[in-house]
Amino acid sequence: MYSSLLAIVGGLSTLTAALPSSAPQEPCAQLSHTFKEWKSAYLKNPMSVDHYLPGDLVHECLQTIPFDSKRAIEFLAEARKYLQFQSTTEILKNPPSGYLMPAVDLFGGLDFIEQQAANNKYASQTDFDVAIHNLLSSAHDGHLSIQGMCSQLLFNYQITMPVVSVSSDGLQLPQIYAANDLPLLRNGSHQVSPVVKVDGEDAETFFKSQSMKAGNQDPDALYNSVFHTFARGGIGSSTAAGTWTVSTVWPGQSNYTFEFGNGTTRQAQTVAVPKSKSFDYGSGKEIFKDLCIPKKASSSSAIASSSATPASSSSALLSATPTPTPSSGVSGMPAPTTLPKAVVREPNNFVSGYFLNEKDTQDVAVLLIPTFAVKTPYLESFVNSTAKFLKEAAAAGKKKLVIDVTGNGGGLVELGQILFKFLFPNAPIQNAGRFRFHEAINLMGKTYGYLDYNDGPEDLMEIRILNGFARTAAVTPDQKRGFKTVSDLYGPHEIMGQNVSSLFSNNLTLTSETPGLAQDYDITAPLFKPENILLVTDGYCASTCTIFSENLKDQGVKSLVFGGRPQDGPMQAIGGVKGSQAAEQQTFDLFVSEAQGLQAASVENGEPLLTPEEMKRFNETVPGLKDLALPGKFNVNLKNQYASEDSIVPLQFVYEAADCRLFYTAENILRPGTSWAKAARTFWGNGKCVAGSSDKATPSGKPSSSATASATPSSTA
């Protein structure tokens, strides 16, 4: 991709070369012409920062992609089959008090989109794609999404005015500034003025509204996600630029007017960055023909081939989130320039460790974990680097440990569990969950129920692939009892208005495939006391990060969170998705393939697991057996996570305030390492927390009724 965050921060202009009078006037033909000129300019000067495509022209072109009502309706029929696996659908319609996001009816939303499609109310394929995108985003669940819709394959949009939220001292309410004013602001320049209005609207109100487009379930985490931060940029995180700056969806307009406190104004443009190296379409019809009609590939054959994928596929199923891993070679990546020199650094920056050296923080070590989304070749490196640093920190006499999970969107569940075991080797791992019960999953479960790990390595491999959805791989949360029958595990039990499974955890002995736990690294006792461990986040801790954080909280570890809306009071440390298992396309393919294979084998043996009528319903209700009429890959939250003391309300809907809150200063944003010393001094020294945010005696302290009221979704608009 031809893009550069630094280019945006530094300022840029779009390519606006005048078209000759003979140039085509159809938007996509114009875009093709402009793209060729843009690419030529880029190739002549690859370091150039001023060649981007006009965002409005890209938008106009994509708006000409024709809409096919018949294909859309067929696509929605299959979409429902994936959405039935989303673990929160009924609760989202009627969420409990304390949940700060609006209610949403996902199936009702699909019904409305289908009605609009049937009546040809969508002017373009792009409008239909955006409707699907917006519906799923409204659930504020980072595991629920669709990737690869055809109108979103070609370009990203970027806005040329990244912004930051900055407090003068970490306690005073922050103000909004242009990101490229940060160095001056840090140096105390009086020439810097905050943004007070955007297009005539109060800036705070504008960006609170913008934040609601993102996937976090907490309004403060959503507000943080709008802004640019170097703290999330260490591994090339797509969240570093801020959701305001980068989007796959047209933001709504091509220009914005920013008004500053000193009366000056600046213009920001919406520009487009291509996702490929060519664009040679003369019309929207050509785009539809090439990208919106899926290439013929039998779903059944794809499913069959996926069943042959062994251990590497099971790792994907252990992922709590489909967060992508940054691409990197064996040689690794350079260390982030915004961070101090690490004592131990995993070569790809998946984990790194630091010692604080100032007089009042010399006993503090810092473990930075920006992701758990680590692919197989790097698992051992991640685990080894983590263990090495923790042991070196203890040997160096460090008594306190700051664990920074800023921007950690999750990844492989077992990495979070291994890290927890490094810290508390003798403590049990808590990961209790339930999945939504429905006809399709029940039929699949009936086939899985007869797998027995005692029957040999082949069954054991299949059990690992299916994870806790195979009866023999599921146990009670205390890991002491299995489930005797499929209905014993699958239920259903009606809780909070929806049918769900029994509360269960994965059998860690059976499903573990990553390198060993703490005892394998000679960590047999805690290296740090719980009261000497502090979890630091920016609210964007999600998925596996949630599982890890909840286990730390169960051991008495406290948390400190940075940022949030410009108001006093509490903020959640975990503002991302709190579901404990995501399912992406590959997951469904493997699950369905396993069920098909087991049923076929049982029929061959003369003891079919499903009756003919059940098999008919299986073929009608499970996803992936028909080709999608339009491109797209669904991700859903497959399993809810629960707190150790509450088996009723999923954590996704539970407000859990951090023990302390601070706002970011300019120095914290430019040099993220400075936030570690600030957090350590605040928590273990004499520092203060933001007013109304600290209650160190109650780690999960829920905000008072007045604080909760001030945090309602309406206050974010």
Q: Confidence band (pLDDT; 50, 70, 90) for 298?
A: very low
Q: Which of 272, 302, 325 is the last residue of a domain?
A: 272
Q: Is 346 exposed, middle or buried (0-12, 13-18, 19+ CB in 10 A)?
A: buried
Domain assignment of residue 586, yes or no? yes
- Co-location of 480 and 586 in the same domain: yes
Q: Which amino acid is at 242?
A: G
Q: For 254-268, 277-291, 319-333, 465-479, which range has the lowest pLDDT when averaged over its residues? A: 319-333
- Strands 498-500 and 505-506, by their bridges, are unpaired
Q: Confidence band (pLDDT; 50, 70, 90) for 470?
A: confident
Domain assignment of residue 143, yes or no? yes
- Co-location of 488 and 543 in the same domain: no
Decide if 170 contacts 664 (C-beta within 8 A).
Answer: yes
Mean local confidence (pLDDT), 15-21: 46
Q: For 31-45, 385-399, 524-538, which range has the lowest pLDDT when averaged over its residues? A: 31-45
Decide if 113 contacts 76 (C-beta within 8 A).
Answer: yes
Contacts of 693 (CB under 8 A, 6+ apart): 568, 569, 570, 571, 657, 658, 660, 661
Its domain, for residue 80, covers 26-155+273-294
- Co-location of 597 and 567 in the same domain: no
pLDDT tens track for 47-61: 764 568 999 999 999
Closest CA to 125 of 629, 702, 560, 674: 629
Higher pLDDT pick, 5 / 529: 529
Q: Confidence band (pLDDT; 50, 70, 90) for 37?
A: confident
Contacts of 234 (CB under 8 A, 6+ apart): 336, 338, 339, 349, 368, 370
Average pLDDT of the chain to the nearest whole number: 85
pLDDT tens track for 658-686: 999 999 999 999 999 999 999 999 999 98
Q: Is the pLDDT of residue 432 over 90?
A: yes
- Co-location of 135 and 161 in the same domain: no
- Co-location of 498 and 546 in the same domain: no
Residue 196 CA to chain centroid, in angstroms?
A: 30
pLDDT value at position 467?
67
Q: What percent of the residues of the chain are helix, what percent strand, and what percent coil, each to the nearest 5?
A: 40, 15, 45
Domain assignment of residue 36, yes or no? yes
- Strands 558-562 and 660-662, by their bridges, are parallel
- Co-location of 132 and 258 in the same domain: no
Tokens read off for 16: 């606006």
Tokens read off for 337: 């320039």
Provide the domain count of the chain: 4
Q: Is the pLDDT of residue 8 over 80?
A: no
Closest CA to 465 of 314, 609, 590, 294: 314
Share of the chain above pLDDT 90, in %: 67
Q: For 370-374, 562-566, 614-618, which range has the lowest pLDDT when averaged over its residues? A: 370-374
Note if the pTM is more than 0.85. yes
- Co-location of 243 and 211 in the same domain: yes
Q: Is the pLDDT of residue 226 over 70?
A: yes
Q: Confidence band (pLDDT; 50, 70, 90) for 324?
A: very low
- Co-location of 625 and 505 in the same domain: yes
pLDDT tens track for 581-625: 999 988 898 889 989 999 999 999 999 999 999 999 999 999 988
Distance CA 419, CA 517 (A): 8
Q: Confidence band (pLDDT; 50, 70, 90) for 331?
A: low
Q: Is the pLDDT of residue 170 over 70?
A: yes
Q: Which of 567, 596, 630 is the last residue of a domain?
A: 630
Domain assignment of residue 702, yes or no? no
Which of 3-17, 326-340, 552-566, 597-611 has the largest mean confidence?
A: 552-566
pLDDT value at position 23?
55
Higher pLDDT pick, 451 / 421: 421
- Co-location of 160 and 227 in the same domain: yes
Here the CATH number for the domain that contains residue 560 is 3.90.226.10
Domain assignment of residue 241, yes or no? yes
pLDDT value at position 524?
87
Q: Confidence band (pLDDT; 50, 70, 90) for 335?
A: confident
- Co-location of 353 and 423 in the same domain: yes
Domain assignment of residue 523, yes or no? yes
Domain assignment of residue 10, yes or no? no
Q: Confidence band (pLDDT; 50, 70, 90) for 326?
A: very low
pLDDT tens track for 89-124: 999 999 999 899 999 999 999 999 999 999 999 999
pLDDT value at position 455?
54
- Co-location of 525 and 497 in the same domain: no
- Co-location of 460 and 496 in the same domain: yes
Closest CA to 159 of 265, 69, 32, 249: 249
pLDDT value at position 714?
33
Q: Is the pLDDT of residue 301 over 70?
A: no
pLDDT value at position 454?
55
Q: Which of 272, 302, 332 is the last residue of a domain?
A: 272
Distance CA 602, CA 606 (A): 6
pLDDT value at position 448?
87
Q: Is the pLDDT of residue 148 over 70?
A: yes
Contacts of 4 (CB under 8 A, 6+ apart): 49
Domain assignment of residue 477, yes or no? yes
